[in-house]
């Protein structure tokens, strides 16, 4: 079983706006919306490919039906951790082949009770899953101590831990020896320092990270 943990999902709103006039009034020719974010994309894709997939999602209860619609085609089972508020939004303005993205952060007051629910869900997933995926950003309300605890719990069970984070949170995850990390080139350079974008140089840097 694969469990994807989505603690900072977005409600993606896609607007088709040909000839976008910046600073003016525009009319979209088409629009649609769906629950998004890296972890949900992982869960949906793995489910559509036939995997046994669970998604642990921190989101408002009002998202439940949209999550079922988005993930249901792949048979993904959802555990919703109810979050207060309306959730986080991400707007995509599409002008033909050009796309402008406006993202936001989740305005979440993360009290102790809610964080302990997250802890229990991650601990259970790390014990019950073959693979545990921590993908996408984390809410700003997660301080350094909570991030460290989250990674420690994720790595403590039998699951192989896959991490898609960046910056300090990617570096923190390495303390717990994840099975896989997936940085892009810019994120990898922030982790290891300047490295040439050639396969031998990248492989050598990756091996140095693996040996830490």
pTM of the model: 0.87
For residue 137, pLDDT over 80 is answered with: yes
Q: Tell me whether residue 146 is exposed, middle or buried, using C-beta atoms within 10 angstroms of its C-beta: 0 to 12, 13 to 18, 19 or more.
A: middle
| 3-56 tens-digit pLDDT | 999 999 999 999 999 988 888 899 999 999 999 999 999 999 999 999 999 999
pLDDT at 141 over 90: no
């Amino acid at each position: 079983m694969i469990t994807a943990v989505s603690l900072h999902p977005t409600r993606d709103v896609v607007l088709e706006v040909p000839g976008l006039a910046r600073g003016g009034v525009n009319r979209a020719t088409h629009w649609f919306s769906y629950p998004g974010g890296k972890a949900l994309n992982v869960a949906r894709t793995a489910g559509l490919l036939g995997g046994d997939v669970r998604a642990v999602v921190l989101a408002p209860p009002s998202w439940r039906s949209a999550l079922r619609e988005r993930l249901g085609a792949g048979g993904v089972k959802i555990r919703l951790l109810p979050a207060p508020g309306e959730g986080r939004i991400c707007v995509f303005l599409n002008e033909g082949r050009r796309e402008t993205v406006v993202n936001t952060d989740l305005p979440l007051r993360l009290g102790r009770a809610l964080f302990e629910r997250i802890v229990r869900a991650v601990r259970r997933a790390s014990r019950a899953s073959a693979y545990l995926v921590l993908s996408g950003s984390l809410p700003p309300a997660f301080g350094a101590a909570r991030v460290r605890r989250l990674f420690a719990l994720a790595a403590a069970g039998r699951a192989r831990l896959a991490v898609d984070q960046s910056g300090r949170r990617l570096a923190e995850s390495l303390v717990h020896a994840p099975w896989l990390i997936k940085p892009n080139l810019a994120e990898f350079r922030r982790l290891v320092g300047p490295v040439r974008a050639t396969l031998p140089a990248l492989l050598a840097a990756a091996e140095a990270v693996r040996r830490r």
